[in-house]
Structure 1
Amino acid sequence: MSPDDSPDAPAFDFTVDLSAHEMLRRTHVVAAVGPDWDPAAALRGEEEARALLYSGLDAEQQRIYDELVAAGVLPAGPGDAAA
Structure 2
Amino acid sequence: MSHHGPTPSDEPVGWSLDLSAHEMLRRAHVLDALGSDWDPVEALRGEEAANALLYSGLDEEQQRVYDELVAAGVLPPRGGGSAAA
> Taking structure 1 as the reference length, what is the TM-score of the superposition?
0.79
Residue 20 (structure 2) aligns with: 19
Which consecutive segments of 4 or more residues in structure 1 shift more than 4 A?
Answer: none
RMSD between aligned residues: 1.8
* Structure 1, unpaired ranges of 5+: 1-5
**Larger relative contact order (C-alpha < 8 A, sep ≥ 6)?**
2
> Aligned match of 1:9 in 8, 11, 28?
11
TM-score by length of 2: 0.77
Structure 2 unaligned segments of length 5 or more: list them: 1-7, 81-85
Matches of 2:75 and 2:20, distance apart in 1: 32
Determine what percentage of the aligned residue pairs are the same residue.
Answer: 70
- 1:1-83 alignment, distance < 5 Å: 7-10=9-12, 12-78=13-79
Q: Which has the higher helix share?
A: 1
